[in-house]
Amino acid sequence: MSKIKRELPLNALCNIYNALILPRLNYGLMLLGWKAKRLITLQKRAVRIMTKSHFRAHTTNLFQKVNVLKFTDLCALQDYKFCFKFDHLMLPHYFMTEMKSHFQQNIHRYLTRQKCYLKLPTINLELTKHCIS
């Protein structure tokens, strides 16, 4: 992208970003999103190239200019989609049976707001904290 940024307009560079870079960022996002400092740096570099900005320019306004979500926002969006699918029973059978064991049901017989909250298990190892199951 950096070699062709002078010849192409912004919308063509955005199309290249959406076609080549965004799918690679989205691939395995739930598994690797928590450990992706290098991907954040590369995404910022791509946005700076798209907007033809200085290599040390602040990127918050640049992300808004090209209408692109930051990597951390992409991670949060994927997590929300996963929770939505879990709540609406749209996940594969493995996840539904695995996650139902962590779902708090019938804590007490009274109808309260906390009755159907997710109950997360206690995890000691750092690697296991980010495991999808």
User: In terms of domains, do 73 and 101 share one?
Assistant: no
Q: Render pLDDT for 7-63 as a digit per residue (tens, 0 to 9).
A: 999 999 999 999 999 998 888 787 776 678 888 999 999 999 999 999 999 999 999
Residue 44 CA to residue 56 CA, distance in Å, equals 10
Question: Mean pLDDT, to the nearest integer, of 72-98?
Answer: 84
User: In terms of domains, do 72 and 15 share one?
Assistant: yes
Domain contains 2: no
Q: Tell me, what's the pLDDT at 75?
A: 86
Q: Which of 131, 114, 113 is nearest to 123 (CA)?
A: 131
DSSP lists the bridge partners of residue 103 as: 118
Domain contains 83: no
Host domain of residue 71: 10-77
User: In terms of domains, do 63 and 95 share one?
Assistant: no
User: In terms of domains, do 25 and 63 share one?
Assistant: yes
Asked if the model's pLDDT at residue 76 lies above 90, the reply is: no
Domain contains 55: yes
Q: How confident is the model at residue 105 (pLDDT cuts 50, 70, 90)?
A: low
Domain contains 70: yes
Domain contains 25: yes
Residue 120 CA to residue 102 CA, distance in Å, equals 6
Residue 14 CA to residue 112 CA, distance in Å, equals 48
User: In terms of domains, do 61 and 116 share one?
Assistant: no
Asked if the model's pLDDT at residue 107 lies above 60, the reply is: no
pTM of the predicted model as reported, rounded to 2 decimal places: 0.75
Q: Tell me, what's the pLDDT at 4?
A: 92
Domain contains 1: no
Q: Render pLDDT for 118-131 as a digit per residue (tens, 0 to 9).
A: 666 667 776 666 66
Q: Tell me, what's the pLDDT at 50?
A: 94
Residue 75 CA to residue 80 CA, distance in Å, equals 9
The span from the first CA to the last CA of the chain, in angstroms, equals: 37
Give the end of a domain, one of 77, 104, 119.
77
How many domains are contained in the chain? Answer: 2
**What is the residue-wise DSSP string for the chain?**
-TTTTTTS-HHHHHHHIIIIIHHHHHTTHHHHGGG-HHHHHHHHHHHHHHTT--TT---HHHHHHHT---HHHHHHHHHHHHHHHHHTT-S-HHHHHHHHTTB---SSSS--TTTT-B-PPP--SHHHHT---
Choice among 46-50, 63-67, 90-94, 101-105 with the minimum mean pLDDT: 101-105
